[in-house]
Structure 1
């Protein structure tokens, strides 16, 4: 199912990942229907500056909980990249309303609208949050696509984002199984890389804090990283490859905070890095082998870090 010259819908088109998916599709001469909360908002102005956007990009005002608005955006498309998902920036007073309902109902609305529009395949952005949160995994066990986060454990530990992604992905796959609809889900780790959008997203903030905050001490946790550009390529591959099916974990590099900071310090010595690191428990091992068998490859961690920091500088985020 070639992407070239096709018509596609990208939900959450103005966000960090959505913007890169739009950019990649436009570079392949595709017509792109991007869903955003408000098409005239300055937050989406970066999309109009992308190559070929003036002729091939149309922005739709859509809400995941408004089925009719999704139908308008998806109509006439051969494929849908469902990227939009609520990500909490802090505490979540009402998780059912703020996170779980929009994630689950919103995803099912996208799938139903896609089924009605006779879309060939939907590629849904899930998260390793739907894979790793499970106390029963043995130490040293390599987690693959057969592994799922435990919903009750997520609920009991109030890990609402993990619960929302687990609920949404499992419901989506069940919908596809019941209806015979062609759905592929991709579960990325922490997504870094250069930003196109004007606002700071949650994963970008992780790196900015390492550069700026100068904490006295930081837990030496592992960071499982994928570059946003490699991730966008993975999503297109999940659409294009006829043999793509089910879930895919998407991770490029597994690096501990101390090593990540040392790498950044060598590249950019003048930032305010954490001073000390506290060792913590075991590391969860993940495998992207299934995705690599599809033909996916990724760039070096140095390339990701340099391009990330340069884009933050350009945007004035490190001043």
Structure 2
């Protein structure tokens, strides 16, 4: 599965943070990309994609909606593989978590996989899940635990804690595995942690907004510990999962633990002119991020050296400044 010359692939939710970088890398490697967005007429969703190298010759944009059954058929028809990244990413629910988060995540995933099962040309599906579907197992993680691909979030725990985003990603991944097994689909799942790094799209997304908040001296997760993984590493892992013939199952891709002090020191070192507010020292201590992630499996895809956290954070802030988002 090496090399993209002449191959056609689909990327759902292509205007998103990770997906935009997947599209960029696919085009650079010679693939023809059929990209789906909810509204092809929304220039904020398409302009940055159409500006990518190779887009004029090998990028086609299609309209598709997660909860509209069959809406991905035109985009997936004739494709060798499908990257399913489209899913709502937010921790805030206005009124109904089922409608706002769970249905689009779960029904959208099954909608895409149903279409893939009907299209004989599709050889592999790569699903973007999340460490959220990993990190809340039945037994609470301790600071010395080593997490690998065998860890799954307990849906009842996520529901009890009203962690609706965690629940949506967990249920969507579980539904994907069940459907793939029943329909003999070659499914690969990537489980990235909190993603940082430069934006290709023109607006803030959830994970980069976390960094913007940290720069203001706020602490979105009320924790002394964070861990970030660079968007370029995550996107490349997706492409490698397509091109590695022996790839199988899940792949965790997450960064090392850093303290909020480490993060602020990076900001001050690289951007001394920025007005970075003092932190609120009265913070809860959460142990959930002090575990260690085993990345041996993702290294088998050729992702040997992850971008250092300080480099990723620096590039995030540079990108935010360039796009006037600070």
| TM bucket, shorter chain | over 0.9
Q: Distance in 1 between matches of 2:227 and 2:97?
A: 26
Q: Distance in 1 between matches of 2:219 and 2:251?
A: 37
2:177 pairs with 1:173: yes
SS at match of 1:69: coil
Which ranges of structure 1 fall in alignment gaps of 5 or more residues?
none
Of 279, 290, 293, the residue aligned with 1:286 is 293
TM-score, length of structure 2 as denominator length: 0.92
Report how far residue 217 of structure 1 moved: 11
Q: Distance in 2 between matches of 1:122 and 1:281?
A: 35
TM-score, length of structure 1 as denominator length: 0.94
SS at match of 2:257: strand
Q: Distance in 2 between matches of 1:98 and 1:197?
A: 23
Cα offsets for 1:288-319 (capped at 9, x unmatched): 2211133213222232122211111110012x
How large is the Cα RMSD of the aligned pairs?
1.8
Counterpart position of 1:248: 251
Counterpart position of 1:4: 4
2:36 pairs with 1:35: yes
SS at match of 1:253: coil
Q: Which moved more, 1:185-194 or 1:137-146?
A: 137-146
- Asked if 1 retains the 8 angstrom alpha-carbon contact of 2:203 and 2:325, the reply is no
- Asked if 1 retains the 8 angstrom alpha-carbon contact of 2:70 and 2:111, the reply is no
SS at match of 2:79: coil
Report how far residue 284 of structure 1 moved: 3.0
Counterpart position of 2:72: 70
Counterpart position of 1:114: 116
Report how far residue 89 of structure 1 moved: 5.5
SS at match of 1:248: strand
Which ranges of structure 2 fall in alignment gaps of 5 or more residues?
none
Report how far residue 71 of structure 1 moved: 0.8
Cα offsets for 1:111-163 (capped at 9, x unmatched): 11112112010000000000002351352221111111111110011000000
Q: Distance in 1 between matches of 2:275 and 2:129?
A: 33
Aligned pairs for 1:48-63 within 5 A: 48-63=50-65
Counterpart position of 1:47: 49
Q: Distance in 1 between matches of 2:200 and 2:220?
A: 31
Q: Distance in 2 between matches of 1:280 and 1:102?
A: 33
- Asked if 2 retains the 8 angstrom alpha-carbon contact of 1:220 and 1:258, the reply is no
Q: Distance in 2 between matches of 1:97 and 1:272?
A: 38
Q: Which moved more, 1:6-15 or 1:62-71?
A: 62-71
SS at match of 2:70: helix
Sort the Cα spacing of 1:202 and 1:83 in 2 relative to 1 into closer, same or farther, 3 A: same
- Asked if 1 retains the 8 angstrom alpha-carbon contact of 2:123 and 2:186, the reply is yes
Q: Distance in 1 between matches of 2:221 and 2:24?
A: 36
SS at match of 2:210: helix
Report how far residue 2 of structure 1 moved: 2.3
2:89 pairs with 1:87: yes
